[in-house]
Structure formats: structure tokens, C-alpha cells
Chains A and B, each alone.
Chain A
Amino acid sequence: MNNPSDSAAARATNVSKIYGHDDSEVRALDNVSVEFEKGKFTAIMGPSGSGKSTLMHCMAGLDEMTFGSVTIDGIDVASLKDKDLTKLRRDKIGFVFQAFNLVPTLTADENIRLPLLLGNNKGNEEWIQKVINTVHLQDRLSHRPSELSGGQQQRVAVARALASEPAIIFADEPTGNLDSTTGNEILTFMRKAVDELEQTIVMVTHDPVSASYADRIVFLKDGKIAGELLEPTPELVLDYMKQLGH
């Protein structure tokens, strides 16, 4: 299953997600096929209701798809039982959510190492230190989330996502709750993670500026892939969105 020569960290093939039956049927995802290349930063964009979050949830094993298949690092997600799916999320996937990313009772350091701790895994200490340095959290490690600013909290979340050297990181509107300066800081860290630490990141966003940090943008509309843009700038993104009738 695990195919190291595969250039895709994650791949969705003919994925559909259907809510309801017959007349009241809603297709949140309609036969979507997409690949996310290793070592690249990809953004998924689309208006609300376009299915971008649903796609991410299905690919990350957080939600079940109705049809189709998803592989993460060559592993077929649909075939996994809850326990193995949990392990997959723990060992192969990193997550950054929009809000409520951290466990309030744990320190920043414990939060960063959480996936490793849950797996009884010491992890690669050199790597972890490198990650911590990259997001500039050295002085904040013993603090609890309530003692950190919103930006610092998201940096901890990014560090956590990186800590276990996952095959892929999914970020769901990671800057949605932050002011633009702090948001850009987070995006810069994510960019650095891809460029310097050779990580793979998939980010869901509706903000053209955020999306422009990515190497590639996948547009979704009405549950279908509506187009792609490589090497984006904010202006290019806005133009493209206008073309899509947005």
C-alpha cells in the first residue's frame, strides 16, 4: 500500500459526499478527484457551501464519504476502522483548526507533543526543537493556552501539527480568528515549514491573501473542482475568482 515513489501525499478519487435521500438529496461533494503533492503548500478555495471543508474532513478521516476513495501516504482511508483511523490521524496527519485548537489543561509544550504523547512516542527531539524554533515558541513552552495570545496559540497549533513529522498537514482557516498581521505571521511560518522543513500542507481558506502564500490553489464550487491556479498572487486569485462568477 505504502508507495514511497508516489509523488502525492494525499489523493482523492471520485469522492462524493451526499446528505439526505432522493428529493432532499444534497451533494456536498460531487465526484471530486484531486491530488496533493508532497512538499507543496496547497490552498483550497471556494465560496461557503462549496464543499471545501467537507473535502478536507473526508480526506483527513474526520468524516465519512459516501462514494470514492482517499489515500493518505498510500493508505486507503475508507478501509480503516475507528482505531486505525485514529492512529492514522495521530501519526500521519497534522491539524490546525480555526479556533479551539489547544487543550486548555496542558502546557504549550505538552500541546505541541500531544500526538506523540498519545501514541506513547518520544518522537524526534531534534526535529521538535527545530519546529519550536521555527515558530519562535522557546520562551512560551511552560505556559497554558489561557496565558497565550491568539497568535501564539495558533503557532502552538502549527507546531503541534508539525511535531510528529506527518505525511500531510490539514489547516482549516488557520488565520480566520486573527488580525491580518498575526495571520500573516502564521502563514509565513507555514510557508517556512514547507520550504525549509519539507512539509506538505493543505489549507482551506476563503481569503485571497492567505491563499496567495500557497504554491497552488484548487477552487471548488457546488461540490465540484472548478479550476486550479499555480504560483498565485492575491491579484491573480481575485481575478480568477471573478472569472468563476464570484
Chain B
Amino acid sequence: MWRIALKGILGRKARLVLTSLAVILGTAFLSGTAVFSATLNQTFDNLFSDVFRNVDSYVRSTQVIEADFGQQERQRIPVELVDTVKQVSGVADVQADIQAFARIIGKDGKPLGTEGNGPPTFGSVGQEFKGALWSISQGRFAAGPTEVVLDEASAKAGKFVLNDTVKVVAQSGSREFTLVGIASYGDVRSPGGATFALFDLATAQEFLAKPGFIDDILVSGDGSLSDTELAMAINQAIPGTYKTETLTGAQITKETQDEIGTALSFFGILLSVFSYIALGVGSFVIYNVFSISAAQRQRENALLRAIGASKKQVTRAMLIESVVVGLFGSTVGLIAGIGLSKALSALLKAASIDLPSGGLVVPRSAIINTIVIGLIVTVASAWLPARRAGKVPPLAAMRETAIEYVALSRRRTIFGLVLIALGVVSIVSVTNGASKTLLGFGILFFFSGTITLGPVIARPVALLLGKPAEKFRGVTGTMARQNSARNPKRTSRTAAPVLIGVALVTAVAALAASISSQIDGVFTQQFKGDYAINTTARGFGGLSPSLADDINVMPQVQRATGIGRLTVKIDDKGQFLTTINPATVEGVFDIGLISGSYADLTTETIFVSEKYANNHDTKLGDIIQVTFADAQVKTLKIAGIYTYDEIAGKYTVSRDLIKDSSVISFDLGVFIKLKPGVSNESARSELQAAVDKYGQGTLLSKREYIDSQSGSINQLLGLIYGLLFLSVIIAVVGIIITLLLSVFERQREIGLLRAVGMTKSQVRTTVRWESVITSLIGAVVGIVLGVGLGWVIVYALRDQGLSSFSVPIGSTVSILMMSFIIGVLAAVYPAWRATRVNLLAAITTA
């Protein structure tokens, strides 16, 4: 049987390629994402082992606040510790280090690097040091309050040369410096796309942090002690009251690598989830191709049976073929995936994220994974078609080829309906209070039920969707419509990948539309001003608090207020506090105060949300103890309760609370109300000038601001769409393969049509419309499922504050249009093949 199977495969190389195509694509995404993740990991590992190569010890505070989303805030340490460390025997050299927010403003007035979601923008200390992170490649290190050194990539991007004036924005505002040097970081021009502005220690403290404080101390030993001994010696030299710890170079390297590894692994998991979705979609295509190919070989298999092959042998021959296809496909897929990961790296480079040239890492696990999973998916997808091939009666050899058995079993209908019913019951029971894990099962049941019912609904849906084609395209439309309905099993298997892709896209779009409309509502309710200054930087950097103050005193402005955020510890848990300026907030930004007044918010008091008050059974006058990032503990009295907690969260304090501490504080938005009678036009240019002076944030009108807030979800949406695109590609390939096989199967029919007068362009039209109808079936059913899925997800997120569900009308329309276009594009090659049918051969072969 091996020999028959192998001969069969080699005899039809074209079909081998077609069948393998789905396997190749599916596994290419799998290996591509794995290789990309591994390479990225390795790259950062190398980078950080380079960074701390000559650092033997690392001193920092032990005080850390960890808030939601893995954000960390570590307390700063007093600069006098540098001298303490320097005097420890065994220490050769030390450097005080600061890593803080600083943005370099380009010559065109625009900040370098992307705000918010791009790589971070740092301000740091650059000086001569034995274990230096930075080495000067031009000029010298900065000395004094007016000098700065830039990393090489930033200098190049901003077209800065020595002695240029460079504007830098930091927490304390913006300032101009003279460029005295350009530095490189290990082997790279700048680490991972981040920008760096380097100052001398005193300037860095005063400009970037708070005078007298630094982030950490880098130590280089003289070689007399081992790293561990040196760290212990330093630890003993620093009084315990400073709450510091000393790590060895190896430890800090490991820790940084692990941190990056965790962040990257999230990214890697996201990538691999979508590549598995793509592979799942691909398995439908593989299953479909094997089914069609088994049907087309029915006579051949029947002949084998007639001359004495057992059912088992026929089945085995097809399984052997699937093993060959699986191995061939996943091997090619593996190699294609490596190419794909290179393309991803090139994409990052094009987005000016300069990764150190680490070389491609192809982990053995990725190789084994790709081949094994590719093989399993292929053979599993071929299993049913192979069994069906074995069941062909020997008599079929004598009959005219009846292409594929199309009768639909009642069992299928019942099974599909039962699955859908189970899905509905699970989802309904959740809305009646059952555990939410049932939602997942509900969705799974519903999807499987729909896919099972696919062949049953494919015919009526195809005939319905084909109506317009028939109306506008005449007899070619009629034939396209009938062709897409003539084999409902095949049509539904071809449409299934489209369905899955469209359902996921629609669900994501529905979720996004719901979130957007909610955000829109919240901001419309709470933002009462005319203009806002927005920053997309979250967690790291933001708007300098003095920006709001400067704008507040402008003559056109009635009031401008800044809203910021602080990370603190309450009851030993990381929490966010919203900081407001009680003097200016009223009438500009409404938090819906229901008791107390803004005047009550002092450095001794705190406001809490109504929800918090109810949940914790607290009332005005109760006490909350807050631990700040600098370990300062304050006892605050509840002086007010508010209702609008969507933006403000549970706690709101006055920004004066931290005015004199080393705690970093930025505003995340400045909200502006103009004086009555001031024209928006004239005010805007004045406001813009004020914003430009700081070089931070973007000035937006009320409408623009609200749109940008509700639109921020779109970035995430873009990423998810991009990843789902993988599945869409596979779905398109699925349609192409099916159409090609159908065209092959209908050669005689096409030949006949050509003989009695169908033009080539009419042949193409017929194939094209069949493709469009098939694609639309997937899209229409997918949209219905996707909206349902979106509703379920929004429902599941009800507790997270998502209260309204919106149907994404715009996205739905564009998805329909996309699937129309996909149908047209997928038909291009098969339609061309159809016109190449040999007319004579088609009508004369008996």
C-alpha cells in the first residue's frame, strides 16, 4: 500500500502542492512566531548581559510598590550613599545612576520617538566610569547644568551635531542644553529604540528627579573580592535605615532579563494564540482538500477495492498520503516561518526599533513543535476523508463518477441543533446567575453547532445570497448560484474558515465599539471644558504639573486643571490615586461630588468613590492610611464622596499631597475652560504656543479629545486585526484550492459551455461569483455569530464596568465589503484556469 500511496502522490504533484499549501501556511505562522519570540528574547538577554558586563554590584532601594498591570515603582535613594559605597574596601569605582523620563525635542519642535506606546524615552546620568554603560563616540560627557549628551540613534534621528542646542522635556519642565557629546550603548546606537539624554549627576538629579536623590548605584570592584563578597561588604557598610539592597552584577542582569522575558512572553503568547487560531482555520482547509480529493478519486479507489484491496488498505493509502503531505508541508512551513520571522524583524527595523544584531535563534522546540503539530493536524484532518474513501463500494468503479456524496443526514441536523441548544442554554443560564465559565462552553457549543449545521444551511443560504448575482449577471449568475449550492458540504467547509475569521473580527469590533461608546459617554459627562491637552504616555512620563498652572493664568482661560495619577500602597496593596488640583478642578472636570466640597480636599484629606464607600462601609471622617513610593506614610481623612469613578477610580487626592516628596508625579491630562466670549480660534493658537513651549502633549478640542480617548482602543484593535489577518489569508487560500479542484472536476461542463457559446469572460464571471457567494456565506454567518460572541464577551465584562453593548455597524459593512473583495481575488487564478480548459478534450472524452 505504501508504494501505491507514494506513486499516487508523485503522480499528482500539483495536488500535493495544493494540499500542502494549507499545511505550509499554518505551520509557517507557528514556526515564524516561535522563532521571532525566541530571537527577540535572545536579543534582549544579550543586550542586558552586555549592559551590566562590567558592573560588579548594584545598590538600590528595597521599597517597591507594585500596582495593577505589573507596574512597579521603586523608591529613590539619597545621593550621600554614593560616598558610603565608594569607601568600602574592594570598590574601585562607582556611578550614581538615574533612569527617568526625558524627551528630546527635535529641531522641528516635535519630540523624538513615539509617545506612549513606543519604546521609552529616558534621561540618565552619563559619566566616566569603569563599568560604564555608555561610551562616548564623539565629543565628551556632559559637565555642568547646560550640557547634554545624546545617544547615537537619537542624534542621528534628530540630525543633531555637536554644539547644537537641544531642548529636553522632563518632569520639572523643559530646558535647553548644548550638545557636547554623542554616546553609544554597548554595541548598539541606542538600546531597543529607546532615546537617551545624558547629564552630569547634579543636573540629572535636579532636572530629572529631585535634588539629593538617585535611583541606584553602579559599582565596579577592584578585583580583590568576588562579586558576592563585594555585595555583602557594601550591604554591611550601608546603615539599615536606608532600606537598600546590594545585588551582584549577575543578579541584576538575571533580574532584568527575567523582567523583559516576562513582558516578551506575554507578547509571545499573544502571537502564538493567533498562530494556533490560524492553524485551526487551516485544518478546515486541509480537511476540505482531502475530502474533495477523495471524492475525485472515488473511481480509482473503487477499482483498488474491486481488484482485492481491503477497506483498511484504501484508508491506509490515504493516511500515508496525509503523512507525506504533513511532513512535506510542515518542513516547508518551518523554513517559510524562519523567513517570516526575518520579515517581522525587518518590519521592526523599519519602525526604527534598532535591535542588536543577535542573529536568528531557531530553538529546537520550535522545530519539533512545528513538524509534530503540522503532522498531527494534517493526519487528523485527513482521518475522516480517508475512512470515507475506504467505504467506497467496488461497484463504483463501473459507474459514471458521482462526485461526492451530497445527501445530508438527519443525524447531522439533530446533532447540530442539539449543540446550538446546549450553547443557548449555557449562555442563558449564565445570565440567570450561573458561573461565568459556562459562557466559554456556551460559545464553543454554539460555534461547533453552527459548523456542524453548515452543510444543512449552506444550500439555502447560498441560493439566497446568490439571488442578486442571478438578477444582475443573467445565466452566468444562475450557474454561479447553483454551483455554490450544488455541493453544500464542500461549500460549507470552504466557507467555515471565512466564518471563523469573520466571527472573531466581528466580536473584537463589537467589543471595541462597546468600549468606545462607553468611553465617549463617560468623557462627555465628566469633561466640561473646551480644550484638553492629552498625553498618550501612561505610567512613564506625562505632562509636567506646571503646564496646567501656566495655562490657568492665561488671559483667555477661565480655568485649567491637571489630572494625574499616583501609585501608592493601601492595606499593603498597590493602588492608584487620582491627583487633582482642588483649586481649579470645579466646572472643568466633574467627578460628581455628592458630599463634601473641593475646598475640603487638603493635604490631610482624601475623596473616595461612592462605590468604594458602599463596599467598605465607610463614611465621611473615616481614616485611610496611604504609603507613598518614598515610604512616607500618611493618614488621610475621608472628606468627600463622588459618583463618577470611571476615570477617577476609587481614590482622589490633592496634588499638593506629594509636592515636597521625591515621589514622581505627572499629569495625564490638562483640561481647559475658556472665559466666556473668548473665540475658540484665537484661544487655540495661544494655547498651542503654550503647549509647544513645553514640548509635551497634544492640544485637542473637546470633541477631538473625546474622540481620541474613545479611539485609543483602535490601536489594540489594529494589532488584533493584524493577527487575525493570518487566518484570513488561510481562508482565502482555502477558497482558491477548493475552486481549483471544482474547476478541475467540472472540466467537461466548462468545455460544453464553451462549445455552445460561453465566452472566456463569462466563464470567469461564473467562477468569480461562485467564489463571492461562498465567501459571503462565511461572512454573513460569521457576522451573526461574531455579534453574538461580542455580546457574550461584553456581558462577561459587565463587572469590569462595561455596561452598554453596541453593534459595530461600520465594521460589519466593511467586513462584508472585504469578503466580497476576497471572493473576487480568490477567484482570479481558478477563473483563469477555467478558461484554459481544453475544449475538445472536455467534450470528446467519453
Among A95-121, those with CB < 8 Å from B are: 95, 97-106, 110, 114-115, 117-120
For A63-98 the 0/1 string (1 means CB < 8 A from B) is: 100000000000000000011001101110001011
A53 proximal to B (CB < 8 A): yes
A11 proximal to B (CB < 8 A): no
A228-B476 Cα distance, complex, nearest whole Å: 43
Q: B128 to chain A: which residues have CB within 8 Å?
A: none
Least Cβ–Cβ distance between B604 and chain A, in angstroms: 83
Q: B846 to chain A: which residues have CB within 8 Å?
A: 98-99
Q: A206 to chain B: which residues have CB within 8 Å?
A: none
Least Cβ–Cβ distance between A118 and chain B, in angstroms: 5
Question: Given the interface contacts A90-B757, A118-B758, A119-B757, does A97 sit within 8 Å of B475 by beta carbon?
Answer: no
For B733-777 the 0/1 string (1 means CB < 8 A from A) is: 000000000000000110011111111101000000000000000
A62 proximal to B (CB < 8 A): yes
A119-B476 Cα distance, complex, nearest whole Å: 11
B843 proximal to A (CB < 8 A): yes
For A16-32 the 0/1 string (1 means CB < 8 A from B) is: 00000000000000000
Q: B476 to chain A: which residues have CB within 8 Å?
A: 118
Q: B623 to chain A: which residues have CB within 8 Å?
A: none
Q: B478, A110: Cβ atoms under 8 Å? A: yes
Question: Given the interface contacts A97-B752, A118-B475, does A86 sit within 8 Å of B759 by beta carbon?
Answer: yes
B840 proximal to A (CB < 8 A): yes
A38 proximal to B (CB < 8 A): no
Could you say which of B756, B758, B759 contacts A95, with CB atoms under 8 Å apart?
B756
Q: A89 to chain B: which residues have CB within 8 Å?
A: 755-757
A160 proximal to B (CB < 8 A): yes
Q: Which residue of B lies closest to A99 (CB)?
A: B846
A140 proximal to B (CB < 8 A): no
B136 proximal to A (CB < 8 A): no
How many A residues face the partner with a CB closer than 8 A? 31
Q: B482, A101: Cβ atoms under 8 Å? A: no
Could you say which of A97, A106, A118 contacts B757, with CB atoms under 8 Å apart?
A118
A99-B482 Cα distance, complex, nearest whole Å: 21
Q: Which residue of B lies closest to A105 (CB)?
A: B482
Q: B759 to chain A: which residues have CB within 8 Å?
A: 83, 86-87, 118
B486 proximal to A (CB < 8 A): yes
Could you say which of B474, B482, B752, B757 contacts A87, with CB atoms under 8 Å apart?
B757
Could you say which of A82, A95, A110, A119 contacts B760, with CB atoms under 8 Å apart?
A82
How many B residues face the partner with a CB closer than 8 A? 25
Among A112-170, those with CB < 8 Å from B are: 114-115, 117-120, 160
Could you say which of A63, A98, A120 contacts B474, with CB atoms under 8 Å apart?
A120
Q: A119 to chain B: which residues have CB within 8 Å?
A: 757
Question: Given the interface contacts A101-B752, A103-B749, A103-B753, does A86 sit within 8 Å of B475 by beta carbon?
Answer: no
A57-B841 Cα distance, complex, nearest whole Å: 11
B839 proximal to A (CB < 8 A): yes
Least Cβ–Cβ distance between A200 and chain B, in angstroms: 17
B844 proximal to A (CB < 8 A): yes
Q: A103, B752: Cβ atoms under 8 Å? A: yes
Least Cβ–Cβ distance between B761 and chain A, in angstroms: 8
A120-B759 Cα distance, complex, nearest whole Å: 12
B479 proximal to A (CB < 8 A): yes
Q: B479 to chain A: which residues have CB within 8 Å?
A: 103, 105-106
Q: B753 to chain A: which residues have CB within 8 Å?
A: 103, 114, 118
B665 proximal to A (CB < 8 A): no
B483 proximal to A (CB < 8 A): yes
Q: A90, B756: Cβ atoms under 8 Å? A: yes
Among B53-95, those with CB < 8 Å from A are: none
Could you say which of A60, A82, A91, A117 contacts B475, with CB atoms under 8 Å apart?
A117
Q: B475, A110: Cβ atoms under 8 Å? A: yes
A63-B755 Cα distance, complex, nearest whole Å: 10
Q: B762 to chain A: which residues have CB within 8 Å?
A: 118
Q: B474 to chain A: which residues have CB within 8 Å?
A: 117, 120
Q: B482, A83: Cβ atoms under 8 Å? A: no
Q: B748 to chain A: which residues have CB within 8 Å?
A: 100
Q: B757, A115: Cβ atoms under 8 Å? A: yes
A118-B763 Cα distance, complex, nearest whole Å: 10
Q: Which residue of B lies closest to A119 (CB)?
A: B757
Q: B752, A62: Cβ atoms under 8 Å? A: no
Q: A114, B483: Cβ atoms under 8 Å? A: no
Least Cβ–Cβ distance between B824 and chain A, in angstroms: 21
Q: Which residue of A lies closest to B479 (CB)?
A: A105
Least Cβ–Cβ distance between A178 and chain B, in angstroms: 14
Q: A104, B749: Cβ atoms under 8 Å? A: yes
Q: Which residue of B lies closest to A160 (CB)?
A: B756
A61-B483 Cα distance, complex, nearest whole Å: 28
Residues of B near any A CB (own CB < 8 A): 474-476, 478-479, 482-483, 486, 748-749, 752-760, 762, 839-840, 843-844, 846
Residues of A near any B CB (own CB < 8 A): 53, 57, 60, 62-63, 82-83, 86-87, 89-91, 95, 97-106, 110, 114-115, 117-120, 160
Q: A62-B839, A90-B757, A118-B758 are in contact. List 10 more A-B contacts (CB 8 A).
A: A86-B759, A89-B756, A90-B756, A100-B749, A100-B752, A114-B753, A118-B476, A118-B757, A119-B757, A160-B756
A–B complex contacts, Cβ < 8 Å, 10 sampled:
A57-B840, A62-B840, A86-B757, A87-B759, A90-B758, A103-B749, A115-B756, A118-B475, A118-B756, A120-B474
